[in-house]
Amino acid sequence: MTRIDFYILDRPTTEARLNLACRLAEKAVHQTLEVLINTQSQADSTRLNDLLWTFSQGSFLPHRLLSNNSDSGDSEPVLIGSGREPVAGGWDLLINLALEVPEFFSRFSRVAELVGAEERDKAAGRERFRYYRDRGYELRTHHI
């Protein structure tokens, strides 16, 4: 069964959520896991794509945007998309930056739900928590 981890941030900025997504992806890649980062919008995907090049000096995460023409996950361990799941690949970790639960979350062995400090993020995070809890998923919470 999919393990769900909620990461509750105390800083009310989108940048904090994106930076945490980068750090979690980097840690997962070092553990040779395949990662999909699910964003709220295409604009967020593009922003995260740019941030993955610069968030940490001295590190590089092979990644690319998930698109209609290239969704097989050939060699990049990190894909970024907005509501689309990759067709192929044995994906290990889903990092969810969207406000809702992705339909395909159960395909992953782990899900990292990132919840910002803004009221909108908290409310959506509580809804996602209830969704998973009501379906019997193991939930863990981490305050960052």
Determine phi and psi for 34, rounding to 5 degrees: -95, 135
What pLDDT tens digit does each residue of the chain (144 aa) get?
Answer: 899 999 999 977 778 899 999 999 999 999 999 999 999 999 999 999 999 988 877 777 889 998 755 555 457 899 999 987 777 666 899 999 999 999 999 999 999 999 999 999 999 999 999 999 999 999 999 999
Alpha helices in the chain (DSSP H): 14-30, 42-54, 119-134
Q: Is 71 left (phi over 0), alpha (psi -120 to 50) or beta?
A: alpha
> Whole-prediction pTM value?
0.92
Q: What pLDDT shows up at residue 47?
A: 93
pLDDT value of residue 74 = 56
Q: Which domains does the chain have, with CATH numbers?
A: 3-143 (3.40.50.10110)
Q: What is the pLDDT, as a whole number, of residue 109?
A: 95
